[in-house]
Amino acid sequence: MTLTTFAPLPVVEEYREIVEDRGYPTVREWKRRTGRAAVGSFPVYSPVEITHAAGMLPVGLFGAGNQIEMAHADSRFQSFICSIVKSTLELAFVDKLAPFDALLFHSICDPARNLASVMARNFPERRAIYVHLPQNMASSGAAEYYAYELRRVAAELGAVSGRVPSDEDVLESIVAFNAMRSRLRDLYALRAERPANLSTAELYTLARMATFTDPLESEPLLADSLRSATTRDARPKDRIRVVVVGSFCEQPPLELIAGIEESGCYILDDDFLLGWRLFRTDVPVDGDPYLALARAYLDGSLHASTKHDLRVPRAAGLVASARANRADAVIFLGAKFCEPGLFDYALYRRALEQEGIPHLFLEFEEKMWMYDRIRTEVETFVESMLFV
Ligand code: SF4
């Protein structure tokens, strides 16, 4: 797989294989080195600051990709359920989740809700903690409710690590994640401004690295990569400019992302790994840290199909991103059977048609043969845009 046409970024080289390794080698190494526990966090958004403040490593759980065969999970779920739910359960059945001392799930959709219960029933020895996210973002009681819920989650996490975090602990972790997210925002801004300098396959690798690395360790790696990518002498290629949306939970494999770029696209914006970079600005570090996290989630976070915020229509947000990035087109890249994504696609499609922005609809699942077909569809779409 070719990620760039010039000198690779050392961090990307180091982590390119690791991001798809469901043996979680770096998590195992971190646990050996620190003697501390790790918590697997199902997407989309997880209160990672609180896991960290409780002395543990928060790690993104993104299913199995195409790394394992389904042998047990199919019998626990219906056939019309997205891949990530089934393959995350399969990882548990084949003992790939052994590095995790607890798992966090959230109220993002019915399959994710059911996964939390099925996981708890089948693996009672590993604590499954369920976070009830606020559903009415505009309610006057939402911030207070969610802060209270986060304190409950902190107590549960503290029972796993043996240390319920103090407010000071949470503030320190907020500072660490603010710094890491700030570097990610810088990298996203560089890619949007100069996409030839930083490919999305590279950016994805860096962002994915941050989902299984202590922010105190990932932030300097992201900063180094930012410096190196900024100083590259890159010549733009003859590609169309696109915004990709729809992969906010189940993740397309790195190979598929690279394939879309190699098929003739510069990706200017995306919703990959959304939960790990959800906040638009730093979370304030004065006052009650739980209330600060709650307010950041309610009022300061990026669009997500699993976050029902009637104050900010997501279709309008997508159009605004396409306009701001001077995109030629939008690619909807959604996980098969993902209802929140497909519901939003209906709204996106209408808004994009009204605005005269071309779009391509693609669906993926964790099966290797899908990727060649998708690549062909992207090539055809790009040709139709370049040679009209
Ligand atoms: S991919 Fe979609 S349906 Fe599946 S768990 Fe994620 S949000 Fe829910």
Q: How many other CB atoms are there within 10 angstroms of residue 68's CB atom?
A: 17
Residue 216 resides in a domain: no
Question: 376: domain CATH number?
Answer: 3.40.50.11890
Cβ contact 142:253 at 8 Å: no
Confidence class for position 387, pLDDT limits 50, 70, 90: confident
Residues with CB under 6 A from ligand 1: 82, 84-85, 108-109, 111-112, 249-250, 306, 335, 338-341
Q: What is the pTM of this model?
A: 0.95
Residue 373 resides in a domain: yes
Phi, psi torsion values for 74, nearest 5 degrees? -60, -30
Supply the range of the domain harboring residue 46. Answer: 23-166+238-388
Name the token pair of 168.
């000071």
Nearest CA to ligand 1 atom 2: 338
Distance 265 CA to ligand 1 centre (A): 26
Three-class secondary structure of residue 360 per DSSP = strand
| Mutational pocket test of ligand 1: of 44, 78, 85, 114, the residue with most ligand atoms within 8 Å of the beta carbon | 85
What are 272-291's pLDDT values in tens digits? 999 999 999 999 999 999 99
What are 6-43's pLDDT values in tens digits? 789 999 999 999 998 999 999 999 999 999 999 999 99
H-helix segments, the chain: 10-15, 25-34, 48-53, 83-93, 110-122, 142-161, 167-193, 200-209, 215-230, 254-262, 289-299, 314-324, 339-355, 369-386
Nearest CA to ligand 1 atom 8: 109
Cα(46)–Cα(293) distance, integer angstroms: 11
Cβ contact 298:143 at 8 Å: yes
Per DSSP, 140 falls in state T
Cβ contact 61:86 at 8 Å: no
Distance 60 CA to ligand 1 centre (A): 14
Cα(276)–Cα(45) distance, integer angstroms: 7
Q: How many other CB atoms are there within 10 angstroms of residue 160's CB atom?
A: 19
Q: Which atom of ligand 1 is nearest to the CA of 249?
A: 6
Number of domains in the chain: 1
Whole-number average pLDDT of the chain: 94
Residue 4 resides in a domain: no
| Mutational pocket test of ligand 1: of 86, 88, 108, the residue with most ligand atoms within 8 Å of the beta carbon | 108
Confidence class for position 129, pLDDT limits 50, 70, 90: very high
Distance 111 CA to ligand 1 centre (A): 7
Residue 103 resides in a domain: yes
- Residue 270, pLDDT above cutoff 60: yes
- Predicted confidence at residue 362, as pLDDT, reads 95
Section 67-91 average pLDDT: 88
| Cα–Cα–Cα angle for 76, 77, 81, rounded to 5 degrees | 160
Residue 110 resides in a domain: yes
Nearest CA to 251 among 341, 319, 149, 144? Answer: 341
Residue 187 resides in a domain: no
Residue 35 resides in a domain: yes
Nearest CA to 60 among 277, 260, 271, 332? Answer: 277
Distance 211 CA to ligand 1 centre (A): 18
Distance 214 CA to ligand 1 centre (A): 26
- Predicted confidence at residue 299, as pLDDT, reads 94
- Predicted confidence at residue 3, as pLDDT, reads 47
| Mutational pocket test of ligand 1: of 62, 86, 250, the residue with most ligand atoms within 8 Å of the beta carbon | 250
- Predicted confidence at residue 4, as pLDDT, reads 47
Confidence class for position 70, pLDDT limits 50, 70, 90: confident
What are 208-236's pLDDT values in tens digits? 999 999 999 999 999 999 999 999 988 88
- Residue 303, pLDDT above cutoff 90: no
Residue 202 resides in a domain: no
- Predicted confidence at residue 1, as pLDDT, reads 46
